[in-house]
Structure 1
Amino acid sequence: MTGLEIAANAFATASILCAARNSVHTWWTGIIGCSLFGLLFWHTQLYADVLLQVFFVVASLFGWWNWHASASHSALPIQRTPLRSFMLMGAGALLAGAGYGLVLHRFTDAYAPFADSSVLCLSVLAQLLLMRRRIETWPVWVLVNTIAVPLYASRGLTLTSVLYAAYWINAWLAWRHWRKLWRTQGAQA
């Protein structure tokens, strides 16, 4: 465990807890945590995760803006994604993960390229859903964390794998919390 791993996890945990509580502070804490994780994953040869952290930083900037103002200049409401759209997005993420995993397998010394690429592509999907305040972000995060925990543990990132196990629990709790907020929001409309 290094200072870099500790700092990355501290900021990522703050960001994830803020997201679960539907707080806009998820974005700036995420930018810092993802920048630190990018460096950490580079050193552990998890190259798809490095690319993912770059995506997260850019997406966090857009998410921050998106959560502040929608077309009506009010906070973006929590919404549901139509099932057909969600299934198509999920299939696209899995196919992209398999394709990128193949590229990493053939052309780099990446460790566990298919698991790493699955974490990348499913995380992109989850992040896009989070940026639009879609409830379906949380079951995708459950899946991401299910893959990430053993992947990070296998690279000796003990703190990261333990925290991702906690994020797995957090995703379940956040999913329940966001559904309650969505129902309350619908009742008030």
Structure 2
Amino acid sequence: MRHIIDFIELNWVEIIGAIVGLLYLYYEYKADLKMWPAGIIMSSFYTFVFIHAGFYAFASINIYYILAGIYGWIKWHKPSSEDAGVTNEVGLLHTPTRLFLPLTVAAIIIFGIIVFVLQTYTDSGVVYGDSFVTTISIVAMWMLAQKYVEQWLLLIVINIVSVFLYLYQDLYPTSVMYLVYSIVSVFGYLRWRKMITNKINENI
């Protein structure tokens, strides 16, 4: 009986988290500041969900998402000096090419650390999938806080892989949410690129 109650409780938490997640995605698509509080709420719900599902890296990283959400919320309130003349009204930017190598190296190191921790200290059955998605999510979240358009490209990869991971763990509402994420991420990337292009054309 206790297992049934736990399942129902987990299922409702997952459904609410998925709904808030879709709201977060809508605000992100619109480059709306309200995505940050929505993301913080979503991450709080999913910390609980992922612990129960055995996605320990995901559970831990949601704490990072909460902290990064606070950081991003503050940063989006403060336009940087790079914003002038090259971005739209919320300061969207293309990722500088000088960051490609550092971000790649950082991702490889983070991936190795997460794999080691999961293999050594947990009973996770999805070590590499969990580690891969978590690593790319960390990088993408940082890029989002910097307002880099290319964070959407990482999200497309993350979301597609996540659909299959969550189906494997029987997290059906979450897998549906990430299927929607996968589709919207493509349009989000195109929209953000267009927002930058339109603003640049206005300033010519």
Whole-Å separation in 1 of the counterparts to 2:69 and 2:155: 16
1:125 equivalent in alignment to 2:136: no
For the 8 Å contact 2:31–2:90, the answer to whether it is kept is no
Residue among 53, 68, 73 paired with 1:44 = 53
- After the TM superposition, which of the residue ranges 162-171 and 92-101 deviates more from structure 2? 92-101
- 1:68 is matched with 77
- Code of the residue aligned with 1:149 in structure 2: it is V
RMSD over aligned CA atoms reads: 1.8
Q: Secondary structure at the match of 1:168?
A: helix
- Code of the residue aligned with 1:15 in structure 2: it is Y
TM-score (norm. length: structure 2) = 0.86
- 1:165 is matched with 179
- Code of the residue aligned with 1:31 in structure 2: it is I
- 2:22 is matched with 13
- 1:98 is matched with 112
- 1:58 is matched with 67
1:76 deviates by: 4.5
1:87 deviates by: 4.1
1:148 deviates by: 1.1
Q: Deviations over 1:37-90 (max 9, x none)?
A: 000001111000011111111111111111112246996511111234124313
Show structure 2 runs of 5+ residues with no match: 1-9
Q: Deviations over 1:92-143 (max 9, x none)?
A: 2134213311221122111211110111110011111111110110001011
Residue among 31, 36, 61 paired with 1:27 = 36
Q: Deviations over 1:116-174 (max 9, x none)?
A: 01111100111111111101100010111122111111110011011101101111100
For the 8 Å contact 2:23–2:38, the answer to whether it is kept is yes
Whole-Å separation in 2 of the counterparts to 1:98 and 1:40: 24
1:179 equivalent in alignment to 2:193: yes
For the 8 Å contact 2:48–2:59, the answer to whether it is kept is yes
For the 8 Å contact 1:102–1:113, the answer to whether it is kept is no
Show structure 1 runs of 5+ residues with no match: none
For the 8 Å contact 1:102–1:114, the answer to whether it is kept is no
Whole-Å separation in 2 of the counterparts to 1:151 and 1:90: 23
TM-score (norm. length: structure 1) = 0.93
Q: Secondary structure at the match of 1:121?
A: helix
- Code of the residue aligned with 1:121 in structure 2: it is T
Structure ID, larger Rg: 2
Report how many aligned residue pairs link the two structures: 189
- 1:141 is matched with 155
- 2:92 is matched with 78
Residue among 113, 126, 145 paired with 2:127 = 113
1:8 deviates by: 0.6
